[in-house]
Amino acid sequence: MKLPPNVKIKPRLWEFLPWLSKYTAQAIYPNIYFSKEAYKKLVSGDPVYIAALIHEQEHIKRQKGEGWLKWVFKYIFSGKFRFNEEIAAIKPSMKYLKKKKIGFDIEKKAKILSGWLYFWPVSYEIAERGLKRVWRGI
């Protein structure tokens, strides 16, 4: 699969930081960063990683629309904004997965979305309810 030019392999040092580990991808306008392993899976056309790319592309689009600095400030300091931005980015990736007839582990994602990785923006119940609403709406 040919990737957009803004998709990059993240610097190795990032993999030692929990929020930038090899299990996450980052959208930092205008680029999207994947670990070397994830990048390879993305190039191979793995639909789960394509869904992750779609998710990060939505973040880039929204960062551009809001203004990168303003978006980052709000994302860091507002749990409500952070949660809403994640739901907004999850929606197009869910659409892609559903179209490919691939499931989405709502319970696992709700745990992650309501946990330390996102600085506990909402409770598990709210995250789960929001994800279920999006999945049903697709």
- What is the average pLDDT value for the chain, to the nearest integer? 95
User: What are the pLDDT digits (tens) for 25-40?
Assistant: 999 999 999 999 999 9
The answer to whether 41 and 33 are in contact (CB under 8 A) is no
Instruction: Give the integer Cα–Cα distance in Å for 89 and 124.
Output: 18
CA distance linking residue 7 with residue 137, whole number of Å: 29
Residue 49 burial (CB count, 10 A): 20
The pLDDT-based confidence of 12 (bands split at 50, 70, 90) is confident
**What pTM was computed for the model?**
0.93
* Cα→Cα distances 43→22, 99, 130, Å: 16, 20, 31
Strands 31-34 and 7-9: parallel
Q: Are 71 and 62 in contact (CB under 8 A)?
A: yes
Question: What's the pLDDT tens digit per position in 68-116?
Answer: 999 999 999 999 999 999 999 999 999 999 999 999 999 999 999 999 9
Q: Which residues contact 40 (CB under 8 A, 6 or more apart)?
A: none
2 DSSP assignment? P
Using alpha carbons, select from 62, 61, 37, 38 the residue that is nearest to residue 50: 38
Where do the structural domains in the chain lie, given as residue ranges?
A: 7-137
